[in-house]
Chain A
């Protein structure tokens, strides 16, 4: 595949900057807490909203078959509901997808 390196480096530089600046600026400039409850709460909820939006519905098209993706999703939901760690949940979902896909290949 032909890659457009100037574009890729520009994109990576921009990504790095907008990741670094929110981390660096408060640590260097501000010593006071945000007083506005709405802004504070909004920033607090953002990670959950982002991760949920990134997961759904993308997870359903993350494997070669939608059925195997659904199996993986169910396994991941159950295990994370019971508080299993990131690695356990990820590998179990992967195993579920693999098993379902092998099974479908047989029939």
Chain B
């Protein structure tokens, strides 16, 4: 352990588990909405759980699953999911500076699978270098919660009434809004990014000719144009603080 750096409690497996509880609870509810959406679109429960366990990312797997059930090409699915996920490169890059340099290749290979926006945010708040036990503990419960929530959402869809299912259709978008609105309020560049992306997305949905393009490419175009414009006009000073999504 880095005794010289640690001021607060040691970054143990137990502390990781404890720090992961709130993330786990949040994940159960978010993945519940994903599980419902997946089953609504025609997938069996176990496939929904498989997607959650192999992807562990909300926006990426929602977009990928939507495209998949619409019969999109594998190239389109791959590129869309990749574009949505390139932010993880930046997060993993930041996280790599903060990891205990003695962390083995095995732990780097396995724990990186659980580097979500929230895990990243909590890990980066810790003092000193992060050892494998802490990061493993931090990831464990949220990962289980992600799979469990998906299962519950997928399995309960058939029990819920039609009116309740219609109402719950908005849940996942409500969560997306809860992620993007608070930072938009604090940061004008983020607000402009959000408004620009929403505007371009609406244009591709409602304007003739443009609306023939399928959803995945629209997300890519929106992301490249809006984030590109913001990056050009408002370069970020401290990437570690501003890339934290929620």
- Determine if chain A interacts with chain B: yes
A62 to B168, CA, bound (A): 9
Q: How far is the CB of A62 from chain B (nearest CB, A)?
A: 4
Q: Give the interface size bracket for A toward B.
A: 35 or more
Neighbouring B residues of A92 by C-beta, 8 Å: 174
User: B1: CB under 8 A from chain A?
Assistant: no
The majority secondary structure among interface residues of chain B is helix
8 A Cβ contacts from A1-37 to B: 1, 3, 7-8, 10-20, 22-28, 30-31, 33-34, 37
8 A Cβ contacts from A45-70 to B: 45-59, 62-65, 68-69
8 A Cβ contacts from B212-235 to A: 218-219, 222-223, 225-228, 230-232, 234-235
User: B112: CB under 8 A from chain A?
Assistant: yes
1/0 contact string of B70-103 vs chain A (CB within 8 Å): 0000100110011111111111111111010000
A27 to B103, CA, bound (A): 10
Q: Give chain A's interface residues, CB within 8 Å of chain B.
A: 1, 3, 7-8, 10-20, 22-28, 30-31, 33-34, 37-59, 62-65, 68-69, 72-73, 76-77, 79-81, 83-95, 97-98, 101-102, 105
Q: Give chain B's interface residues, CB within 8 Å of chain A.
A: 26, 29-30, 33, 42-44, 47, 50-51, 54-57, 59-64, 67-68, 74, 77-78, 81-97, 99, 105, 108-109, 111-113, 115, 117, 163-164, 166-185, 189-190, 193-198, 200-202, 205-206, 218-219, 222-223, 225-228, 230-232, 234-236, 239, 242-243, 245-246
